[in-house]
């Protein structure tokens, strides 16, 4: 019914699509992170996007994960992880979760 070559092409195309979606998220993630920081009265000191390491989040539902260092309003520094989930169709961030190092 289906040839092996056709099935290989389909599998490669699906894999390529998944990889492209993983690395080609909209720029609005950084904007959403800035908004999140403002809502929580935090200043982002450092934010590193993590592609393979999801920290405390499960890889299957990871979304876009950042390792962050923030300055709190009282001047203390805090390190942790923040995850932004995505709506599969609009690709807009719809939720965020944060886990701080001292809570691990």
**β-bridge mates for residue 47, sequence order:** 68
Q: pTM for this structure? A: 0.63
Domain positions in the chain? 26-103
Are 81 and 66 in contact by the 8 Å Cβ rule? The answer is yes
pLDDT at 86: 64
List, as one string, the DSSP characters of the chain.
Answer: ---HHHHHHHHHHHHHHHHHHHH---THHHHHHHHHHHHTT-EEEEEEEESS--TTS-GGG--EEEEEEEE-TTS-EEEEEEEEEE-TTT--EEEEEEEEGGG-
How confident is the prediction along the chain (104 residues), in pLDDT tens digits per residue?
A: 568 888 899 999 988 887 776 666 555 778 888 888 999 999 999 999 888 888 887 766 657 889 999 999 999 999 999 988 765 555 555 667 888 988 64
pLDDT at 104: 47
pLDDT at 24: 64
């Amino acid at each position: 019914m289906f040839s092996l070559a056709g099935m290989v092409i389909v599998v490669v195309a699906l894999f390529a699509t998944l990889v492209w979606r993983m690395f080609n998220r909209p720029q609005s993630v950084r904007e959403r992170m800035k908004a999140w920081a403002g809502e929580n009265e935090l200043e982002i000191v450092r934010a590193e996007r993590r592609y393979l390491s999801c920290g405390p989040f499960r890889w299957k539902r990871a979304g876009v994960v950042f390792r962050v260092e923030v300055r709190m309003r009282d001047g203390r520094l805090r390190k942790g992880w923040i995850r932004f989930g995505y709506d599969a169709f609009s690709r807009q961030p719809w939720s965020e979760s944060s886990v701080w190092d001292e809570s691990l």
